[in-house]
Structure 1
């Protein structure tokens, strides 16, 4: 997924993310403000390790660190909390004690601090001082008990027997050491006497033998001496008198009664709330995007249909399914607008689709109601008529007809009347509009069974008669995936456009409609994406950017883009600004069309 796609997802759900952030931040502020104020106070102590005078400065630091950390860990145990709670003059649980106290060792010093935090300042003071005294008492009691246990172990019968054995062993080793010393001394004297007397080969040989024996005795003496030293050290460490030095803790600054509550910490909760809101917002944005089974961009529609999208129409007027009734005929009321330019681009796409075969009759349908098929069919008919081509717009949606109302025309007589009444001529059902070269055939009387009517042979004959009267005939049909009406007229059409409502039509429903049209033999020119968000236009955005520039330039040239000195933008021309269309189906129109057919000329509707 590209970065642009991620950005579009975030921008689409930006309101949700901002709302979550605001809720989270207000919640964090409320949490901090609603909490009971807390009071803190500190007891300061000095730790002095045993035999500190015999230690060097760096040795003191090495000893104090592990000792202080031991005290900190000990103060976090359940047994210590229970002892402090039992000594407190007020009722308090051991769990609350452990939550309320905090120990800190100041590095490279002998300072040790105990801080107590509680909603009651008096309890905080008592808790800090009681904890400090409890630590001192527990430390002293622990060391004294260790000394007493060591003395008791030294005075036990087993220890005394072991001491006697070790003393006997020392005596034996000492006697053996004395023996080797005597032997070495005797041999040294003998060697000295031999060296002072007459020298011979025998005396030299004897001297060498004596020296070898001295070397052997000295080696054995070293082994005895090592055993003697180890035995003496073991006896000394096991039975020496316990040292009177102990690790001491002294209070130098007892805790005072706090009079000012701790400052409320807004930063940490608000940062945590912001991070949580962003994570939740991004997660929800991706989840909603994943669960959104609709098409929103032309690129997605291309991939879904496996064919190019013929047109992308931006939302007009913010209306409902009618795309804002006041702007339903935007190509007529505002022909220089970007949306009108998009319909002209759609007209070009339809014309270019005629390379494989001319497109003189075009059906416009959709998967379901409310997707804007009537809006697309009406405006596409207008742009074809504006090109100077004889155009007829036929309302084949016999269940919910809307074409006549869009142009302010009567619904009867119309297509259904032509099918039922064979004596009624097509020319008598043609209604002129305010747009030159554009005629409309309304739906007519709504039949009880539209499918049977549209599937009849007579309906096909009427469609062929209408097609013979114009250069382009556009049929607004019923939704193809909802009812079978549109599929019944497919054989009479040169092409079909399927309107897909961006962000509304489900992918599976759009594909089902496409499959139904293709199964019926329709020549599907491609889909038209309707009501596209401005940020989702994709490669169609160029039509809107250039069309918007062209529209503004034209408005400025006319002096209608800005109004007055205040710089207020003029309201767009709405459908009500169109000249009223002639309502009756005039015989003159029919006669002119018949004459035009005979002469091969074009029909003028008098508009």
Structure 2
């Protein structure tokens, strides 16, 4: 007689943090694809946070005081230069970026702001002191406007103005933007323009303080240049006679040279020409000696006079002759330069005597400030921030809810936490759900009045012609997975159980038995849930229409009396629970059940046992060590990790770990919000396990 196969000790569930699973392997409950799907499936939270974000944005827009920005632009000119090529006192080298930064900083000093705050026309501006954000409803100050309308002292107002103004230098230009932000556009415009006016005023006053020194300096320079000019003119005048004689000598030399080509030296004409040439040379020599001895320029010619003597030779005369021409050219150039310098100094003196005007400042207004344009609140930006912030918070909340989600949604969730394979994933069947919704109420009433209908429920897929073949294939896959667990003669008895009611163990057990029978194997389906059996309802039978397990265990029936044929599925035999037992726990004795399984192995090729849930009652814990295969049904979107861990702990203590897990109600297309119903009633049919044991509970366990 074959004996029950020894069960392996189950491997305890892994207690890894599920966020760690996501980071390490990308598989299981938190792989990226599933994570995104499940986060988006929590769209109500995302929409709620999104609405809160938008509402907050509108509240901020409503409460924020409007702000207007007015900007004036100034151009920093090149440094002014005086007649002698010197920079005016107080000027900047604007080609240096540090100079532009100095001007920028000078525009925002507290002294500058105090000067503006002291201006009477500025202090008289209406709405000069901003009111600030709107008060909250029922919390406003009735005197708020009156208090804000009072202008504070200049020192305090200067600090406020310093906070309102900003100055920026445009990159790679000599343009500086002065911007003022204020609640009133007119105030912003007036303050921006006043900054330019005050800066010009301060710079002009600073330059005016040194204008007298510059004027005195120019007067002294005028006298010096005038003296030098007069001396140069006197020297040039003493050169007029020698220069005229030099021109006459040049004419005589040309005439004598021309006549020498036609006449001999003794020819009267030639003699006359030579006499004239000698006379011109003598006259020039005497004139040059007088000019060289002239006191106005004697110092220049002293060395030449000593070297050349009285110019008695033609060569010495010609050398001094050339030097005089060169000296005269230099004097004429010097006189011209001195005249130009003298005119320039006179023009500068005239400018200083007239006093500095607005052009004396190194800055000029490039564009005046206009009435400020509104820059705050930036409604579109605040709304975008509210939408993005609300959406981000919603996603974050959905992610946190996902992290604390303890339910299973896919086969990977189970395999990532436990070292047990998922033998099959039974998906949702829409056709079955629709059929059940239309007839479930009518069937329930008919059962209560007439008893069994004799027709199998829609949940028995292999007897339902409306079910597509691909749904039947799920149980064929489960059948194959069970067959691959080991040799057929050693693994005939397969127990199907779950952690709690409503997970679909009866549905799985019945259709797995039908799948074995469809393959031609002689199959027995046993309803070993003696407390709240359900197999008879799925096959359209009544519980006590024939002797069942209860009668067999109390010795009121023989083994052959409990078998019922199933007309809807060939090769399938049913062994129902029978009449209600007053105390089912006392009937489940290990030796008796082991002997029953040994006997059934002789008559059937496959035996599928539907048992009670493990956590509510201890019945299945007595049967688990006696079967060959144990399948644990886990309901997607319902069973929690704690439940499965508790079941595996119980089975470990009973030395009966499962061969695998069957995920029921799995819906790959929508991980959340699906209603998984297969057309058969909830476990307990309107009563809970507490009702059976008398604890007073009357709540239904959700499917």
Give the corresponding residue for 1:350.
Answer: 482
Give the corresponding residue for 2:127.
Answer: 90
Q: CA deviation at 1:383?
A: 0.6
Supply the distance in 1 between the matched residues of 2:551 and 2:535 (Cα, whole angstroms).
17
Q: How does 1:285-300 map to 2 (within 5 A)?
A: 285-300=398-413
Change (3 A) 1:132 1:348: same
Contact 2:94-2:100 at 8 Å conserved across structures: no
1:374 to 2:402 alignment: no
1:476 to 2:610 alignment: yes
Supply the distance in 2 between the matched residues of 1:77 and 1:296 (Cα, whole angstroms).
70
Contact 1:45-1:112 at 8 Å conserved across structures: yes
1:276 to 2:389 alignment: yes
Give the corresponding residue for 1:400.
Answer: 532
| Secondary structure of the structure 2 residue equivalent to 1:439 | strand
Q: Could you list the per-position Cα deviations for residues 542-574 of structure 1 after superposition, in whole angstroms to 9, with x for gaps in the alignment?
A: xxxxxxxxxxxxxxxxxxxxxxxxxxxxxxxx9
One of 35, 42, 63 as aligned partner of 2:70: 42
Contact 1:317-1:323 at 8 Å conserved across structures: no
Give the corresponding residue for 1:59.
Answer: 94
| Secondary structure of the structure 2 residue equivalent to 1:354 | coil
1:113 to 2:174 alignment: no
Q: How does 1:166-181 map to 2 (within 5 A)?
A: none
Contact 2:425-2:662 at 8 Å conserved across structures: yes
Contact 1:395-1:401 at 8 Å conserved across structures: yes
Give the corresponding residue for 2:646.
Answer: 512
Contact 2:75-2:174 at 8 Å conserved across structures: no
Give the corresponding residue for 1:450.
Answer: 584
Greater relative contact order structure (CA < 8 Å, 6+ sep): 2
Give the corresponding residue for 1:310.
Answer: 423
Change (3 A) 1:530 1:463: same
Unaligned runs of 5+ in 1: 149-243, 538-573, 577-607
* RMSD of aligned alpha carbons: 4.7
Return the TM-score normalized by structure 2: 0.52
Contact 2:78-2:93 at 8 Å conserved across structures: no
Query: What is the count of residue pairs matched by the alignment?
Result: 440
Supply the distance in 1 between the matched residues of 2:645 and 2:436 (Cα, whole angstroms).
23
Supply the distance in 2 between the matched residues of 1:458 and 1:69 (Cα, whole angstroms).
101
Unaligned runs of 5+ in 2: 1-22, 82-86, 134-159, 210-355, 441-456, 672-677, 681-703
Change (3 A) 1:429 1:31: same
Give the corresponding residue for 1:195.
Answer: none
Supply the distance in 1 between the matched residues of 2:584 and 2:486 (Cα, whole angstroms).
30
Change (3 A) 1:402 1:40: same
Change (3 A) 1:145 1:318: farther
Contact 1:360-1:473 at 8 Å conserved across structures: yes
Change (3 A) 1:499 1:75: farther
1:128 to 2:181 alignment: no
The structure whose Rg is larger is 2
Change (3 A) 1:280 1:318: farther
Give the corresponding residue for 1:563.
Answer: none
Contact 1:491-1:522 at 8 Å conserved across structures: yes
Change (3 A) 1:505 1:318: farther
Contact 1:310-1:527 at 8 Å conserved across structures: yes
| Secondary structure of the structure 2 residue equivalent to 1:534 | coil
Q: CA deviation at 1:460?
A: 5.1
Supply the distance in 2 between the matched residues of 1:355 and 1:76 (Cα, whole angstroms).
99
Change (3 A) 1:409 1:116: same
Contact 2:58-2:383 at 8 Å conserved across structures: no
One of 18, 36, 41 as aligned partner of 1:10: 36
Give the corresponding residue for 2:13.
Answer: none
Change (3 A) 1:515 1:63: closer
Contact 2:524-2:572 at 8 Å conserved across structures: yes
Q: Could you list the per-position Cα deviations for residues 268-292 of structure 1 after superposition, in whole angstroms to 9, with x for gaps in the alignment?
A: 3455445535643553454333323
Supply the distance in 1 between the matched residues of 2:112 and 2:132 (Cα, whole angstroms).
10
Supply the distance in 2 between the matched residues of 1:400 and 1:136 (Cα, whole angstroms).
96
Q: CA deviation at 1:65?
A: 2.8
